[in-house]
């Protein structure tokens, strides 16, 4: 499997994992559509990739505004005709307890992390089925495997991704549709900087554990390797992935460990 000549659309592509994915797909000869609400940073990514590819196209929109998401899907289909690979990678995190988090923050996180990708998927899926091929990559998190303090809305949205996309695969894999769900652990991105607190303000600092995580480039390479192998459910990270297995096979230990986590 290679991506030469494929149309690849990546959300959350202005930095971190998304920007790294854009570079790797461009190296493989794909036409790369990069999206984010940050126009200047998207343009910076495009310019950085010029020595590799001039087939990189920014499409600016806000994942948190459904009307903009729908309009972006229509624009991309009109301009490029089809999308072969959709990387639903954009998202936002949280740093507040469930009781203190107002519903508008829960809804905002769910809109960005879950519904935006569902809107794009439903818009692009008919053409994928008609063409007999489409691959949807979904960036979840190990927080989509278990609960975690101060991440209730974030974890809920990541759990929801599994329910939707596993069902989508079951309905469409015989029509040529592939789905790969990624569950990264700690990756050195800016997600904790932009995480929302109970007042909707940005957390504004890098979490120590995240600062010691793997690089976005390493994460992106593992993602593309997994997609080429048509894997369905992929864990990416280092020692923190142990918590996934502890939660699955040793519940009492999981509850003991999570009870000691303060943030």
Q: What is the pLDDT of residue 212?
A: 85
Q: Is the dihedral of CA 135, 163, 138, 239 positive or negative?
A: negative
154 part of the active site: yes
Domain boundaries, the chain: 7-258
What is the pTM assigned to this prediction? 0.94
CATH class of this structure's domain 7-258? alpha beta
Q: What is the pLDDT of residue 263?
A: 53
Residue among 57, 114, 133, 154 flagged as catalytic: 154
β-pairing, 56-60 vs 233-236, is: unpaired
Distances (CA, A) of 108 to 63, 76, 116, 139, 236: 10, 24, 11, 18, 26
For β-strands 56-60 and 85-88, DSSP reports them as unpaired
Token pair 């003991």: residue: 256
Cα–Cα distances (Å) from 6 to 28, 56, 80, 131, 231, in that order, read: 9, 12, 11, 12, 19
pLDDT tens across the length of the chain (263 residues): 789 999 999 999 999 999 999 999 999 999 999 999 999 999 999 999 999 999 999 999 999 999 999 999 999 999 999 999 999 999 999 999 999 999 999 999 999 999 999 999 999 999 999 999 999 999 999 999 999 899 999 999 999 999 999 999 999 999 999 999 999 999 998 888 889 999 998 888 878 877 889 999 999 999 999 999 999 999 999 999 999 999 999 999 999 998 887 55
Query: Max Cα separation, the chain?
Result: 53
Task: State the DSSP string of 14-28.
Answer: SSHHHHHHHHHHHHT
Exposed / middle / buried, residue 221 (Cβ in 10 Å: 0-12, 13-18, 19+)? middle
């Amino acid at each position: 499997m290679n991506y030469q000549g494929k149309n690849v659309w990546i959300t959350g592509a202005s930095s971190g994992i998304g920007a790294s994915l854009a570079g790797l797909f461009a190296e493989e000869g794909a036409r790369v559509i990069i999206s984010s609400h940050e126009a200047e940073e998207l343009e910076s990514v495009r310019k950085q990739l010029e020595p590799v590819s001039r087939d990189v196209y920014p499409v600016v929109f806000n994942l948190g505004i459904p009307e903009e998401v729908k309009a972006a899907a229509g624009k991309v289909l009109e301009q490029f005709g089809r999308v072969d690979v959709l990387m639903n990678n954009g998202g936002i995190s949280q740093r507040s307890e469930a009781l203190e988090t107002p519903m508008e923050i829960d809804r905002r996180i769910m809109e960005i992390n879950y519904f935006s990708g569902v809107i794009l998927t439903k818009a692009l899926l008919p053409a994928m089925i008609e063409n007999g091929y489409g691959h949807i990559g979904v960036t979840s998190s190990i927080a989509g495997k278990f609960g975690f303090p101060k991440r209730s809305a974030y974890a809920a949205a990541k759990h929801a991704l599994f329910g939707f996309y596993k069902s989508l695969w079951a309905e469409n894999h015989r029509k040529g549709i592939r789905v790969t769900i990624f569950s990264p652990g700690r990756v050195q991105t800016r997600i904790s900087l932009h995480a929302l607190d109970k007042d909707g303000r940005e957390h504004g600092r890098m979490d120590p554990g995240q600062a010691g995580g793997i690089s976005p480039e390493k994460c992106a390479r593992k993602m593309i390797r997994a997609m080429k192998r048509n894997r369905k459910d992929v864990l990416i990270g280092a020692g923190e992935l142990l918590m996934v297995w502890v939660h699955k096979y040793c519940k009492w230990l999981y509850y003991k460990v999570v009870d000691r986590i303060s943030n």
